[in-house]
Chain A
Amino acid sequence: MKTDMKWAAFFAAVCALCAAALLLRGGTDGGRAVIKIDGEVYSVVELNAAEPHEFDIKTERGYNRLRVEKGRISVVEADCPDKLCVKRGSVKAGDLPLVCLPHRLTVEVGKSGVDAVAGGM
């Protein structure tokens, strides 16, 4: 029992470290979303400037319909098998990247996005 508690304390500490890592994630520039397919920058979307709008991304693996609105971006429709990207809802600056693994699509908003723009364009 005592050993169980020691292990539990150890695992709790690991979880606390992870939670801290998540909270300390920087996200200062929330104005842009960097959309990548298969690791290549596909496009960079200004999230605040434009009126709410939707657009499709089609590849040989399938399509995702993205929606941009008030500093947020989401996938509203897709033909991937698990639909996790749609269920995720909208993301804003500092959130974890929006991912559609079956289509190899990622959408990053925030600090890391700026570096990606500099490197990719």
Chain B
Amino acid sequence: MNVKKITATALLLAVALTIFVAEAQLPPPVPLPGVKLGLANVVTLAALSLLGRREALATLLGRIILGSIFAGQAVSFIYSLCGGLLCYIVMAALVGPLGERLWVVSVFGAVTHNLGQIAAAAALAHSAAVIAYLPVLVMSGVLTGAFTGLCAQIIVKRLKRRKEQ
């Protein structure tokens, strides 16, 4: 990593953390556990597309760790980590073949994120009941993933155009 990349990664981490903390202050759109917009994923997607896999992982882990300290609770940290890492693995694998269509990458990532959270919740709370939420969380993953993915796609397009000028 050169200085420029380190600076860009740190900058993106700051942006992601701000978005994450701000979103945590908003009332949940639907009062079901696990349903949220996940706007901070816009930054992970942008980092994947503009900087690279390593840098994206750094912004993701930094955001989850610092975000749990600033906004969250110890309980949500484990759910965030499980969901976030699974989401990252899927997105990092798909960004190569589907890089032009970040929104598709994002949908797969968001759905995996929600599946990871459900698995963590089922394991930790020893509760099979949360599995009933599966269809809801897949649907919410598709919708929120498409939205955040489109945001990232537009941002990346503009930043790349600016770079070329």
Partner of A39, one of B126, B134, B146: B126
Known: A104-B127, A106-B129. A19 touches B73 (CB 8 A): no
Q: How far is the CB of B139 from chain A (nearest CB, A)?
A: 5
Q: Which residues of A contact B104 (CB under 8 A)?
A: 7
Known: A18-B135, A18-B136, A106-B127. A101 touches B121 (CB 8 A): yes
Q: What number of residue pairs across chains A and B have CB atoms under 8 A from each other?
A: 84
Q: Are B31 and A15 in contact (CB-based, < 8 A)?
A: no
- B21 is an interface residue with CB less than 8 A from chain A: no
Chain A interface residues (CB < 8 Å from chain B): 3-4, 7, 11, 14-15, 17-19, 21-22, 25, 36, 38-40, 81-82, 84, 87-89, 96-97, 99, 101-102, 104, 106, 108, 112
Chain B interface residues (CB < 8 Å from chain A): 28, 31-33, 73, 75-76, 79, 101, 103-104, 107, 121, 124-130, 132-136, 138-139, 142-143, 146
Q: Which residues of B contact A81 (CB under 8 A)?
A: 73, 75
Q: Are A102 and B139 in contact (CB-based, < 8 A)?
A: no
A103 to B126, CA, bound (A): 12
Q: Are B32 and A96 in contact (CB-based, < 8 A)?
A: yes
Q: Which residues of A contact B124 (CB under 8 A)?
A: 104
Q: How far is the CB of A110 from chain B (nearest CB, A)?
A: 10
Q: Are A36 and B142 in contact (CB-based, < 8 A)?
A: no
Q: Are A3 and B146 in contact (CB-based, < 8 A)?
A: no
A3 to B104, CA, bound (A): 10
Known: A38-B125, A101-B125, A104-B126. A84 touches B32 (CB 8 A): yes
Q: Which residues of B contact A36 (CB under 8 A)?
A: 127, 129
